[in-house]
Each structure stands twice: as structure tokens, then as C-alpha cells.
Amino acid sequence: MKQLSNSVLYLMSIAAGLVVANLYYNQPLLHQIAVSFSVKESAVSNVALATQLGYALGLLIIIPLGDKVSNKKILHIDFFLMILALIATAVSNSLLLLIISSFFIGFTSAIPQLFVPMAAELSNDKGRGRAIGIVMSGLLIGILGSRVISGLVGEQFGWRAMYYAAALIMLALYILLQLKLPVIKPSYKGSYAALMKSLWFYLKTEPALRLAALRGGLAFAGLSAFWTTLVFLMEDSFGYGSDVTGAFGLFGILGALAATVVGKINDKVDKNKIILYSIILLILSWGVFLFSAKSLIGLVIGVTLVDLGLQALHITNQNIIFSKNPEARNRVNTIYMVSFFIGGSLGTSLGAIAWEHFRWNGVSILGILLSLALLLVYLVYRGKSPS
């Protein structure tokens, strides 16, 4: 088997982070966007919701193609559409157009999920956890760092400037990937319809995949509720703008940097134990959030814990599902990640509702309930989850 070089592995990690950042630039900017279009906070949360729904659909439609179509061909078409969507967002003159263009940003930004199965495919069993961890580290740093960058850019230059800059970044990244990324030629010869139909087969026949998908969806629902409403809390309780909100991503990055460590641990430690410890971290983080509506220190501690908990759980989930069905890693990753972002979309919507009616206490209780549901799933099904 052809092994993955460290240089290409880290390129995929960086690319994953830069592309997935497109999904999250809007979160620290939601207050600015609401003001610019004179709409309520609950209405502007649909921008974040549309982006996540677009991402989920992109995962469902695009990522299975990784088992059938050359990765370079997928990137060629996808980056062209992604850059157009970013420019359309920057020039949007109504909330409706912004929601539509944000949907397509999400749809085209699904391609980092091609890199995770690629890393798993080109790694041996002993190094698979490490490779997944490195790519996921880049991806999660992109998620968290995007909020820092967009918060600063939005505060200094306005929210539209962030999307013009993102379009230029994607153009440069596309050129680099075309030059450096190895060509992967999948072996699947069936039709696209048969490819998509096989998603149901793997979902139906792989209980470990179903459990991982449920765990991931519940965990990401909580995190999405937090990030969607944090900008409103910062404005409401502290009078801070998007720059301070985005800066909270720096503390989440501390958790993301643990990805490589978590990946290595996954290669040696019982995965059921890692899942349990991850859930405990998530419950603790929301307990901290509940008492931190007026405490910046509490919010910093909470965001570090919640990102570390999600990180550990997410990498463990992916290591479990990639250990089987090597010929269909893109498809099983599709099932898992679609569930993950459906959970995120649900969390965004519920978080906005909780904030509108109950403010930060409502958001925190929502996160606690989601984490307790995650613990219940673990307790009921732990004997059926592979270690």
C-alpha cells in the first residue's frame, strides 16, 4: 500500500482547516449582519443554519463520489462553485440572498471530508489514528480559528470583507492542491445511483456506524447551540463585538491541538473509555456555561472543555467507522458526517429559540440535556460499541 508522506498529510490538514473555515465565518458576524439588514437575531441565525444544512447536503451528494471519482476532478469543479458562492455572499443585498449563498458555501465546503478517509486509506492500522488526528486537528483549528479571524476582520472592515478575502484564499489553495495533492483513483465501477443506494446498506448493516452517527450528532448539536448564541451573549452581557466573540476560538484551539494526542491514544486505549471521558467533559463544560452568563473566565474554561470533549469523541467515532469497510470509507464517512451536521443544524435552531425565550440559561440547559442524552445512549449501547 502506498504510504502517506508527512508533507502531504499536513497539507491536507491545512487545506481541511482553510476550507471548513468558510462554514463558520458568519457566526461572530451575525450581530453585524442583523444590524445591516435590520432583522431580528432569530432571523439572522438562519444564515448559520443554511450554511450547516448546505454542508450536510454537500456531504451526502459530494463525498460518496470519493469512492468513484478522482479526487482532483472533484476538487476542480467544487472549488469553482465555492469561490462563486463566497463572492455572491459578499455582494448579497438582502437576507434572503445571503441565506441562499450561504447554503452553497456550506454545500461546496464539504470537501475536507475527502481528506479524512484518504488519510485513513493511506495509513496502516497502527498509524491510522495518528493520521486521522492530524487531519482533524487542522480541520478543527480551521473551525475555531475562523471565528477569531472573521471577528477581527468584521470589526475592522465589515462582514462583507471576510468573504472577499475567503474567495482569494480558496483560489490560492486550489492552485496548491492541484500541484501537490496525489491523485486517488477509486476502484468502484458502479453507477452513481448504485453508489448512493449503498449508503443505506452500510447504515442498515453497521450498528457501530449508527451509534457513532448518533453520538456525533448529539455532541455537535450542543456545540452549534453554543457558538450560534455566544455572539448574542457577548453583546447582551458584556457589550463586546464580533472581535471578542471570535477570540474565544483561540481557547477552543487548545482542545483542537490535542487531536494528534487523541489520535495516538485511539491506537492504544479502549475506545469505550475515551467515549465515556469525552461525554463527561461535555457535561462538565455545560455545567460551567450555566453559571457563566456574567463570567468571561467561566466561558473560557467552558469553551476549552467543550471543544476538547467534542474533539476526542469525534476522532474516536471516525477511527471506529474507518476500521471497517476500507473500500467504502468515503461512504461511511458521509453517513457519519451528515448525521453530525444534521445534529449541528438542530442545535443551531434550538439554540436560537432557547436564547430568544430564555437567554443564556436556556442555551446552557439545552446543552446539558443534549449531553445527558449522549450519556444515556452510551450507557444503553456501550456493549454494542466496538473497542
pLDDT at 381 (0 to 100): 87
pTM for this one?
A: 0.77
pLDDT tens figures, 53-79: 898 899 889 989 888 888 888 999 999
As a whole number, mean pLDDT of residues 238-255 equals 74
pLDDT tens figures, 198-238: 999 999 999 999 999 999 999 999 999 998 899 889 888 88
pLDDT at 267 (0 to 100): 63
Residue 46 cell numbers, joined: 438562519
**One-letter amino acid identity for 233?**
L
Q: What percent of the chain has pLDDT over 70?
A: 92
Report yes or no: 180 and 8 within 8 Å, Cβ to Cβ: yes
pLDDT at 4 (0 to 100): 66
Q: What angle do CA 157, 297, 374 make, to 5 degrees?
A: 95
Residue 248 cell numbers, joined: 474565544
Report the range of poorest mean pLDDT among 5-9, 26-30, 222-226, 349-353. Answer: 5-9
Q: Please determine, for residue 386, whether its predicted confidence score (pLDDT) is greater than 60.
A: no
Q: What fold, for 6-181+190-384?
A: Growth Hormone; Chain: A; (1.20.1250)
Q: Please determine, for residue 6, whether its predicted confidence score (pLDDT) is greater than 90.
A: no
Between 166 and 322, residue with greater pLDDT? 166
Q: Please determine, for residue 1, whether its predicted confidence score (pLDDT) is greater than 80.
A: no
Treating both helix axes as pointing N-terminal to C-terminal, what angle do 296-322 and 271-290 enclose, rounded to 10 degrees? 160
